[in-house]
Structure 1
Amino acid sequence: MPWKETTIMEQKMEFICEWRTQKYSITELCKAFEISRPTAYKLIHRYETFGIEGLIDKTTPPKKHPNQTKDYIVKRILDLKRKHKLWGAKKIKKLLFNDCPEKDIPSVVTVHNILRNHGFVKPQKRVRRVKPIYPIFDPKECNEVWSADYKGKFKMGNKIYCHPLTIADSKSRFLFVAKGHYHENLKSAKATFTKVFRTYAIPKQIHTDNGSPFGSVAAIQRFTRLSYWFIELGIEPVFSDPAHPEQNGRHERMHLDLKAACAKPASANLRTQQRRLNAFVKEYNHVRPHEALDMETPASVHDFSTRPFPERIPDFDYDLKMKVLKVTQNGAMRWGAYHWVYLTASLKGKYVGVMEMGNGIWRVFYRNVFLGYFDEKNIRNKETSIRLSQNIV
Structure 2
Amino acid sequence: MEVGDEAGQHGPTWLVEQRYRAVLEVVDGSPVSEVAIRYGVSRQAVYTWKSKYEAGGLEGLQEKSRRPRTSPTRLPSEVEALVCEMRRTNPRWGARRIAFEIARPPVEAAPSRATVHRVLARNGLIRHQQQKHRRKYKRWQRETPMHLWQMDLVGGIYLADGRECKMLTGIDDHSRFVVVSTVLAVPSGRAVADAFVRAMRTYGVPAEVLTDNGKQFTGRFTKPRPAEVLFERVCRENGITAKLIKPYSPTTTGKIERWHQTLRRELLDVSGPFTDLPAAQAAVDAWVHTYNTARPHQALNMATPASLFRPNPQPEPTVVVAPEVPDKQPEDAAEPQGSVGLLVPTSAQAMEFEAVIAASGQLGVLPRIQRVKLGQDYAGQRARVWADEHTIHVLVDGKLVKSVASRLDAGNLHELSLRGAVPAGPPPAAPAAARQGELQPGAVVEIDRNVDQSGIAQLGGVAVTIGYELANQRVTLRLDGHLLHVVHDGVLARTLPAPIDADQRASLRGARVVTGELPPPAAGAVRVERKVPADGVIMVARQRLRVGRTYAGELVTVHVEDTYFRITLNGADLSLHPRKDQRPVTRFRAKIHAPKL
TM-score normalised by the chain length of structure 2: 0.31
Say which one has the larger Rg.
2
